[in-house]
Amino acid sequence: MIVDCAIYRDGRRTEGPEDLSDALQEARASGDAFLWIGLYEPTEKEFDLVTEEFGLHPLAVEDALKAHQRPKLEVYEDSLFMVFKPVSYEPRSDTVHSGELMVFLGDSFVVTVRHGKDRPLGSIRRHLEQQPEMLRLGPTGVLYSIADSIVDQYLDVATELGTDLEELETEVFSPSAGGSRHTASRIYTFKRQVLEFRRATVPLAPPLARLAGQMASGATVPFVQEKSRPFFRDVHDHLTRVNESVEALDRLVSDVLSAHLAQMSVRQNDDMRKISGWAAMAAVPTMIAGIYGMNFDHMPELHWVASYPAVILAMAALEVLLYRLFKRRGWL
């Protein structure tokens, strides 16, 4: 469905004709205007009209309709196609949710296609409408604002994940909760959240570097103004910080998992030592009782009156000796 449609002229929003073809012709005729159409999870039938009017490439249209794409930048003859993965963080469940946002740029038009509930474009559009100088950059200004807003959201999510990791570290190294059976599950779940976040941020670096003119070839990108490169460089720098944070989070959560498994192994060894110590203590009276439980007539002190208390005292003395020995060595 079409969420919003407007013509922007000289940095100001103006309402244009309802017919997309007439609106696009009016924007191109002005020379300093462009048409911005926003769509939310359009059907193939709804998108056919947009495809026909703007001459969008069928491969890009297929990607926009089916979604489930990696962040990327593709240049076609009549348009530029870029994919973003907006990310949001749910503090109640400590989970990362991602959506998809596709942007088509062409001669005097911008078409945005959004999938999922993450990062609605209404707030970006309203914020951009308060910055006429950015709107004067035309479709390039819209692309920059979208990229800047999404990467800023990445920074917030990275901060939230860092806080969660600190709490997880505290739990792992806590004497009481570190060995909980649910700790390993929490660590693995957190690692999955980091992986989901990483799928959104890492592939976006090459497209932004290309828009910023930081690729080896240094070639310009069609439909993007040359003077906008510093803006995209700034966004790319922010994304670099995010990716560094993601890499650090991934390494740290792997270290936390290794530390947890090491702690579990140490605690299992401690438990095995304790079990072995108690088993050894139980073996001594069992052995003595087993010997004197044999039905032989000729056994030492078998008919001695004091033999029973003597054996009991010997058992107790050996138990005390073994207990003190194991306790001194840290087995009990």
CA separation for the pair 218, 293 (Å, rounded)? 93
276 pLDDT above the threshold of 80: no
With contact defined as beta carbons under 8 Å apart, do 103 and 75 qualify?
no
The residues, ordered by sequence, that sit 6+ positions from 249 with a Cβ below 8 Å of its Cβ are 158, 161, 162, 165, 194
Give 30-64 pLDDT, tens digit per residue: 778 999 999 988 888 888 888 888 889 999 999 99
Residue 296 pLDDT class (50, 70, 90 cuts): low
pLDDT recorded at residue 92: 80
Contacts of 279 (CB under 8 A, 6+ apart): none
Residues 160-173: what's their mean pLDDT? 86
Question: Among 15-24, 86-95, 223-232, 246-255, which is the least confidently predicted range?
Answer: 15-24
Share of the chain above pLDDT 70, in %: 91
Q: What is the pLDDT of residues 107-135, one digit of tens each?
A: 889 999 998 876 668 888 888 889 888 88
Residue 216, CB-side half-sphere exposure with 13 Å CA sphere: 0
Lowest mean pLDDT among 29-38, 68-77, 296-305, 319-328: 296-305
Of 17-21, 157-161, 235-239, least confident by mean pLDDT is 17-21
pLDDT of residue 101: 93
Highest mean pLDDT among 21-30, 159-168, 179-188: 159-168
Q: How confident is the model at residue 179 (pLDDT cuts 50, 70, 90)?
A: low
pLDDT of residue 178 exceeding 90: no
Which pLDDT value is given to residue 181? 64
Q: What is the pLDDT of residue 20?
A: 81
Q: Give the other-Cβ count within 10 Å of 20's Cβ.
A: 20
- In this predicted structure, the answer to whether residue 18 has a pLDDT above a threshold of 90 is no
Note the pLDDT of residue 119. 60
Cβ neighbors of 30 (< 8 A, separation 6 or more) are 9
Nearest to 140 by CA among 230, 20, 47, 217: 230
Does pTM surpass 0.75?
yes
Please tell me the predicted confidence (pLDDT) of residue 32.
Answer: 83
| 233: Cβ contacts below 8 Å, ≥ 6 apart | 212, 213, 214
